[in-house]
Amino acid sequence: MARLPRITLPGLQGRRALPRVAPNRAGIRHPMKIASFNINGVKARLPALLDWLKEAAPDVVVLQEIKSVDEAFPRTEIEDAGYQVETHGQKSFNGVAILSRLPLEDVSRGLPGDEGDEQARWIEATVVGREAIRVCGLYLPNGNPAPGPKYDYKLGWMERLRARAEALIAGEDCALLAGDYNVIPQPEDCHDPAVWKDDALFLPETRAAFRRITNLGYTDALRSVEARGGIYTFWDYQAGAWPKDNGIRIDHVLLTPQAADRLVGCGIDKEIRGREKPSDHVPIWVELDL
C-alpha cells in the first residue's frame, strides 16, 4: 500500500507530540481524524476513494460532488471498507455524503432556510466517539458567472450557511463545517490572484460573506496552522495547472471554539492529485483530541 506523505505544517510542529494510540476498550481511537474530499464523481473515483480510505484511515469523511442519486451510490463497497454511509444525492450534479467508522446519529439533509432549494449540497450528523461532535458537510455553490443568477444563488446560500453557523456557535456546540466552499479566502490562497480578480470564488463580496462566517468565532483549521499561504486543495484539469502548481485553496474545515480547542493536527493529502484519474481536489483533514 502506498504511504501518504504527511505535509509538515510549521504551526503544528510543537504540537505533534500527541501519539496515535491503540484503541481503548470501546474500540475508539484518538485523536479522531475527520476529512473532507470533493471526489468529482463517486462512480469514476471509487477505486481511488477506496485506496485513499485505506491509506489515510480517516474516522469520518465528508464527500462532495458525488454526482449520484442515493440509489446508485456504491454503498456496499464503502460499507465493506468499514464505514457507515449517509448520502444526500441528486442526478448528475452536486451531492454530498458522510462516511463514518463511528456511529452517526441525527442525520439531517439540506441546508435550512429555503424549502424550495433542490440542490443537494448539505448533510450533517453527530459523530459519537469518546465525545460527540456535530459534523457538517457542505458543497457551496460555485457561483460563476458573476454577476448573474448563479452568483445570487451563491450569496443567498452563504447567508443561509451563516445562519446555521451562528446557531452552532450560540449552542456552544463542538462542531465543524467541512467541505468545498468555492471560496478563495485571501490572495495568498491562490497561485496568481490577478487571474481570479473577477471570479465568483474570489470576488470581494464572496470573501466578505466568508469572513462573516469565520468572524462568528470559527477557526479556519488549515490557516491556523499555516498562515503564510501557498497551500492549495484544487488544481484545474486544464492548462497544466497541476504541474505548474497553479492551485487554489477552496476546501476548508471551520471549527467552533469547542472543536478548535481539541485541534491537534491538520493537513492535506496533496500526493494523490498526481495519481491516475485523480479528482481535481485533494482531501483536507483535521485530527481532534476527542
Partner DNA sequence: ATGGTTGTTTAACAA
Give me the residues that bind DNA (CB under 7 A), please.
40-45, 67-68, 91-94, 141-142, 144, 150, 182, 237-239, 277
Is 139 among the residues known to form the active site? yes
Q: Tell me whether residue 150 or residue 160 sits nearer to DNA (CB atom).
A: 150
Q: How far is the CB of 137 from DNA (least distance, A)?
A: 16
Q: How far is the CB of 39 from DNA (least distance, A)?
A: 9
Q: Tell me whether residue 123 or residue 290 sits nearer to DNA (CB atom).
A: 123
* CA 76/CA 16 separation, integer angstroms: 35
Q: Which residues of 212-229 are buried (b: 16+ CB within 10 A; e: fewer)?
A: ebbebbbbbbbbbbbeee
Percentages helix, strand, coil for the chain, rounded to the nearest 5?
Answer: 30, 25, 45
Q: Tell me whether residue 267 or residue 278 sits nearer to DNA (CB atom).
A: 278
Please give the backbone phi and psi of residue 258, each rounded to the nearest 5 degrees, phi first.
-65, -30
Instruction: Let me know: does 177 contact 165? Beta carbons within 8 Å.
Output: yes
Q: Tell me whether residue 64 or residue 126 sits nearer to DNA (CB atom).
A: 64
| 20 three-class SS | coil
Query: All 3 cell numbers of residue 89?
Result: 444525492
Q: How far is CA 57 from CA 22, 184, 197, in A?
A: 14, 28, 38
Catalytic residue, from 59, 83, 151, 180: name it.
180
Residue numbers annotated as active site: 139, 180
